Amino acid sequence: MSPGSRVAMCPGTYDPVTLGHLDIIERAARVFAEVVVAVTDGSFKKQPMFSTEERIAFVRDAAAERGLHNVRVEPLRQLVTEHARAIGAHAVIKGLRAISDFDYEFQMAQINKHLAPELETVYLPASPRFSFISSSGVREVAAWGGDVEAWVPAHVARALRERSPRLASAKDAVVGGGKTE
């Protein structure tokens, strides 16, 4: 392995960051000299609940709490392959929870390989205790007032509690035919 290949990138939306994400980041940080967590600035698939700045802060705070000094967090505002080249990364780290994750991530790895043949994709399977956790599931449970503290860092759980009453009110308005009393 060349010295430059010791830099890896973990791209994602992290909306919000979960303990499953952090498990993958922490494990990658044990293997690579530096891990750059690249938080997507936007998504074609959905509107994030939290701003890019909030999501970056969530990941930074969680990495600092875990003493992950070789983890850097920054926004991702370009193609993964372009960002990897810009930061000197030779590997993209992706966590896999289920075979459905692999199907999607394999397709993305093939696209990335076409765009940047020098870039490798490294898959890390989810730890069993985190294999069912997804950001969308966390958001859904939090929106309905459920307890998500076992799935996200404490500061993220607080942010979800602060944001969720508004989400629940919005859902009530839609369920009630869009009328509020």
- Helix (H) or strand (E) holding 141, with range, is helix 135-143
pLDDT at residue 149 greater than cutoff 90: yes
Q: Over the chain, what is the mean pLDDT?
A: 89
Structural domains in the chain, CATH included, are 3-130 (3.40.50.620)
Indicate if 179 belongs to the active site: no
Q: Quick: pLDDT tens for 88-139.
A: 999 999 999 998 899 999 999 999 999 999 999 999 999 999 999 999 999 9
The active-site residue, picked from 46, 129, 158, 166, is: 46
At residue 164, the pLDDT reads 75
Indicate if 21 belongs to the active site: yes
The active-site residue, picked from 55, 90, 135, 139, is: 135
Q: Quick: pLDDT tens for 33-88.
A: 999 999 998 766 678 999 999 999 999 999 999 999 999 999 999 999 999 999 99
Indicate if 46 belongs to the active site: yes
CA dihedral for 9, 11, 16, 20, sign (positive or negative): negative
Indicate if 83 belongs to the active site: no
C-alpha R_g of the chain? 17
The active-site residue, picked from 85, 97, 113, 161, is: 97
What are the φ/ψ torsions at residue 93 (nearest 5 degrees)? -100, 130
DSSP string, 12-36: E--TT--HHHHHHHHHHHHHSSEEE
Q: Which amino acid is at 82?
A: E
